[in-house]
Structure 1
């Protein structure tokens, strides 16, 4: 019998799933946008110089190499006609085994297995949630209806239902022929099987509608058909929503009964929650305003009612939580999606006793902005920014990353250079780490007495514990390397001449934006409030600025029992913020008594009042204090740049000193600058 892992013995214990044995209890969850990146598109919609299929391959390789027990390829449609959701598809052609995609998938399965991982695919039918992309094909769902966007949903006929089952069988056989060991069938998040189960969607009067058993029949018969076609040695996993967390939506009791009906035909149950059309509010994707691992307890209830393994997904970013959930018998396996973007080596680091080196997902939504839940027929291709890279993982190779060239193909340094990094915030820290790892001699100068920069404010708010962990990790990583750190050291032209660096990276951050408003000096800054542990706010406060900084600050003040009113000049709060996260912050403010005035231009500030112009009238708001959270502006670097350039030294500017933005911009620009120093 294999010796148990000394750090996380239950997490790294093998698991029997059907007739197969998985090497550990960690699944790399099916990830959006793995599917169409196996299709060669000309021109490529993201403008990559590296072939997109290679990026998809490398993304999955990072997960397998990083130690995942199961690696699941996400969101493939068994029928790319009525399930087509995006304009730049088609999906894989499951009727062909002689095309390039089939060969790529064979190579991918072999690669995953070479690392001891178990390759699985995921099949997803969107049903009536098919996006109107102008292809003239109506969506199909359980029942006929008209959607708000004008689309007409056609009801599946019984013949079409049986044909749908065969589409799944064809896809499963294709996967099996390509060397994949199993399939996950998505039965949650409001997709087609869940639509048949839900009385909100399913108004049928035949054997597929009415009673719970009838509404579950679509899924049960589908699974039975697939099992009979595939035999006992092909693993079948289903993903379910423990609750849709929507008014009138499916609840935990429904999920339990659903799983009991499905159990005879499947090998594992993967418990998620929520609904695609309200990703934030339903916790399909959790944010910093939701607990970590919210599906563990519901999964435990399901596990009590079945005799097959149960996995939980959602907001799990620590091996400690995963170990406890498995050791306590609540679940058998953890599944992680975004965490594998943040750090695909999560399993190996935990297994080898380096859990403190794991870059833990911030749940910020940068990798997947998602539908906001406020405009339920809109998807990211219509309203929201394109998928971006991970905030904290500049090394990522997943298909929607910012790199135009894969990291390991960037030029190697010609020599070890003396590199001066000015500024010890997250961008400067990442620059120093990467430059040191590239063999350079790094001097990191920080004007204050501590590293961390602006994100040191996270020491004072529980909502930002994940960012705090990231900040602390960066500092630890710097301390582990031969990096010379100089605190309380303001870099001047004289110091640059003294150090005589061969390359300089300016990462000096940003300053509070102080607008020319009468009495603005009466307001304290949002960062000062954090530094003072919220002292001085009184019982009530007014926050000037309803952007992300102001709204997150307001959420923290509300959390500390302070009556808070936000004043915003534009017509809505956080108009520049992506869907998922914007909704989460907005909902927290709304549900906890926060107030706000929009279309309100501040014209005067007192110590305990604000005067604003709104709709042609003057309004006065009173409170115990006023906080300036109107934003930040890049810190001036002209004098330093001039001195550096006059000395003929290459210089890079990164992060907020270019333009005040977000953590991910500073981290990626710091990494890129360090990689460009050769």
Structure 2
């Protein structure tokens, strides 16, 4: 019997029966062909989620007009010649017992038509695109029936292609229907005017009725809509429950209740960790209380136990998940079979969003997302003896994949515990803990041979007789020398990492009192071996070696997360970065979230400045001013460290370097390197 009886019970949307209540949210991924049809990459990606056990899959933002696309390589239902290509996708999904539906959209004012088709975007009023800032053309009332016909024709193609239903996008105050619903974007004065409820919902009702008439009353139609737009002047929290019964009367068979409005970084749509889990559930519950059709909740529901509780409490009827199914397509199967510890959790790092902006959606913790047809994860025909040097994320992921493929793996780690740089990352940014826990749990479950406190030299590695050697020993942390950095209140990033690993280097002697030195020497290694980052995170609230005013010199991601960590624990922190921006390793969405967090924590940030001298009580900067400091942290940066790789060349049969030892790349590079190399063995 399943641990989650509600989550894995059947449910009907209109005439469609779903095997369970878990739905894959619509997410744009740019995997389609240039012609707008599902590519092999698309098919393999969706099939993996169907095989993983979800009840319903939703394709994200499929356009009804090939001249109007929101992103490149989006799926197209605007013409008849796409139908055959879609049938292969629907057949492959159905073969695993899942259902599948496209989300139909017209991007309206927020598309790429000016760039792709040489025509203006269109919308309810002359308003700028949230994506490009280019103003759109206002639709004349006489043009609206043609728009409705576009939806009608697309719905017919959807059914002919073998899909099981349709999701209609009218959320987040953007694209066509969401813009007509939004009082801030719909400035019309005719019968579709945004200042009246009847006017705002009129086009949506016409589209719903047209789809039901064309595709059939028995063909289920789900409406994606914001329960609360969380923006001044936008639809208030009580608006969706008020209009929902009218939408059911028009033909809506289910509601998918999201929240927020669009902005260039989807700040409120695809939310960061500061929003907390399940932040849209109350809005979904409000809709559920006024309609008799199923209501779907979505938004940072990453835990099957939380999903089960929402359903058991009758706050929603279905649970939609997006990023968790990027992180682990087998989420549903693992939850149903009681293998919750094997679920690879989303860490809300926003890499999927930032990579999509570059035209290729990838998941930092799951290197197989979008590469299901590329990487060979089947059991190898010949097992090889593989030695992995380094127990950080690259080494652990390589060990996991290699063992699953049937190779014989031995992993050697120089420190007292596994995790590498991910331990510090999880301490200062707890969301990383889930991925560290997953890797450690998998290494234990798969019984990988692990050697801790073991740093091998090239001769020793060669003597092991391995067929393949993977070097994942991490990068070299380089700390710039600054006059005054020898003072006792100055800490380097390298020193902090050493202490976290249980070491007590000589440079630490002058920075700690006698009892502290004794404690670190006696307990450092045992604590490093046994203590999880979550415990260190908690203990830091009681004691840290830093004074009340801390200056962090450096603004890379690790330094920024450390600054946030210190500020959350009552330190007055200031960040100094010599470059032009902070956290250059990450994309715009993740970087903006950190800037917002620093702002909320009251952390001043300066770029284009560098320290000239550190003295007692202050840091003097190049512009002639000083900043008061009781403690100074010189963060440093990661450089490639291939000494061991170079020493092993020609001495082992096959040699590969993974992760930061070939240059900083964060979690996404660690996992991608591991998958790319191990799947080719």
TM, length-normalised to structure 1 = 0.88
Which stretch of the first structure deviates more once superposed, 332-341 or 30-39? Answer: 30-39
Equivalence for 2:240 = 255
CA contact (8 A) 1:141 1:154 kept: yes
Equivalent residue for 1:218, pick from 194, 203, 212: 203
1:321 lines up with 2:306 in the alignment: yes
Equivalence for 1:666 = 670
1:142-201 per-position Cα deviation (integer Å, ceiling 9, x unaligned): 113567967442221222211111111111111111111110000012221121122211
1-side partners of 2:479 and 2:158: how far apart?
59
2-side partners of 1:40 and 1:312: how far apart?
29
Distance 1:658 1:312, change over 3 A: same
Q: Per-residue deviation at 1:314? A: 1.8
Equivalent residue for 1:596, pick from 580, 605, 617: 605
Q: Secondary structure at the match of 1:479?
A: helix
RMSD: 2.4
Equivalence for 1:619 = 625
Equivalence for 2:657 = 653
Equivalence for 1:580 = 589
1-side partners of 2:230 and 2:149: how far apart?
32
Q: Secondary structure at the match of 1:185?
A: strand
1-side partners of 2:214 and 2:652: how far apart?
70
Distance 1:415 1:479, change over 3 A: same
1:140 lines up with 2:122 in the alignment: yes
Q: Secondary structure at the match of 1:6?
A: coil
Equivalent residue pairs, number: 632
Distance 1:414 1:212, change over 3 A: closer
Q: Per-residue deviation at 1:509? A: 0.8
Equivalent residue for 2:263, pick from 260, 271, 277: 277
Distance 1:496 1:150, change over 3 A: closer
1-side partners of 2:652 and 2:427: how far apart?
42
1:340 lines up with 2:325 in the alignment: yes
Equivalent residue for 1:229, pick from 191, 214, 218: 214
CA contact (8 A) 2:553 2:633 kept: yes
Equivalence for 2:421 = 454
1:357 lines up with 2:339 in the alignment: no
2-side partners of 1:469 and 1:657: how far apart?
23
Q: Per-residue deviation at 1:313? A: 1.6
- The equivalences for 1:377-388 within 5 A come to 384-388=357-361
Q: Per-residue deviation at 1:354? A: 0.5
1:567 lines up with 2:576 in the alignment: yes
Q: Per-residue deviation at 1:237? A: 0.3
Equivalence for 1:479 = 444
Distance 1:483 1:144, change over 3 A: closer
CA contact (8 A) 2:30 2:360 kept: no
Equivalence for 2:179 = 195
Q: Per-residue deviation at 1:260? A: 2.9
Distance 1:667 1:84, change over 3 A: closer
CA contact (8 A) 1:245 1:281 kept: no
CA contact (8 A) 1:366 1:387 kept: no
1-side partners of 2:72 and 2:452: how far apart?
52
Equivalence for 1:488 = 453
Equivalence for 2:430 = 464
Distance 1:220 1:394, change over 3 A: same
1:239-264 per-position Cα deviation (integer Å, ceiling 9, x unaligned): 11122223322232222223232122
1:436-466 per-position Cα deviation (integer Å, ceiling 9, x unaligned): 22222211001011111111125534x423x
CA contact (8 A) 1:288 1:464 kept: no
Distance 1:166 1:607, change over 3 A: farther
1:261-316 per-position Cα deviation (integer Å, ceiling 9, x unaligned): 2122111100111223244432x112233312211222112212222111112222
Distance 1:87 1:176, change over 3 A: closer
CA contact (8 A) 2:391 2:413 kept: yes
Gaps spanning 5+ residues in structure 2: where? Answer: 501-535
Which stretch of the first structure deviates more once superposed, 338-347 or 284-293? Answer: 284-293
1:530-582 per-position Cα deviation (integer Å, ceiling 9, x unaligned): 94754022322111112222222212222222211111112333344212211
TM, length-normalised to structure 2 = 0.88
Gaps spanning 5+ residues in structure 1: where? Answer: 42-51, 371-379
Distance 1:128 1:172, change over 3 A: same
1:424 lines up with 2:391 in the alignment: yes
1:393-432 per-position Cα deviation (integer Å, ceiling 9, x unaligned): 1223x2xx5x8x622389x756322211000011001111
CA contact (8 A) 2:30 2:359 kept: no
Equivalent residue for 1:177, pick from 153, 160, 183: 160
- The equivalences for 1:502-541 within 5 A come to 502-522=467-487, 523-526=490-493, 528=496, 531=500, 533-534=539-540, 535-541=544-550
2-side partners of 1:575 and 1:246: how far apart?
29
CA contact (8 A) 2:479 2:493 kept: no
CA contact (8 A) 2:153 2:214 kept: no
Equivalence for 2:42 = 56
Distance 1:406 1:163, change over 3 A: same
